[in-house]
Amino acid sequence: MEPYTVVLSPSPQRTRILLTRGPDEFLRASLPPPVWLSHERALRTLLEGLALVLDQRLRVVLSVDARDACCCLGLTDEWGLGQRSLYYEVEVVSRRVRHRRGRRLRGVDDFADLRPLRLKTECAAADERALEEQGS
pLDDT at 96: 61
Give the residue with greater pLDDT, 45 vs 132. Answer: 45
User: Residue 117 has what pLDDT?
Assistant: 72
CATH number of 114's domain: 3.30.420
Choose between 56 and 109: higher pLDDT: 56
Of 34, 31, 30, 28, the residue nearest 12 (C-alpha)? 34
pLDDT single digits (tens) 101-135 = 566 666 667 677 776 776 666 666 666 666 676 76
Q: How far is CA 8 from the centre of its chain?
A: 5
In eight-state DSSP terms, residue 76 is B
Helices (H), 1-136: 42-54, 115-135
* Whether pTM exceeds 0.75: no
Domain that holds residue 75: 4-135
Distance, CA of 61 to CA of 119 (rounded, Å): 10
Instruction: Name the domain count of the chain.
Output: 1
Strand partners of residue 58: 88
| Mean pLDDT comparison of 15-24, 94-103, 125-134, highest-scoring range | 15-24
Question: What are φ and ψ of residue 135, in 5° steps?
Answer: -75, -20
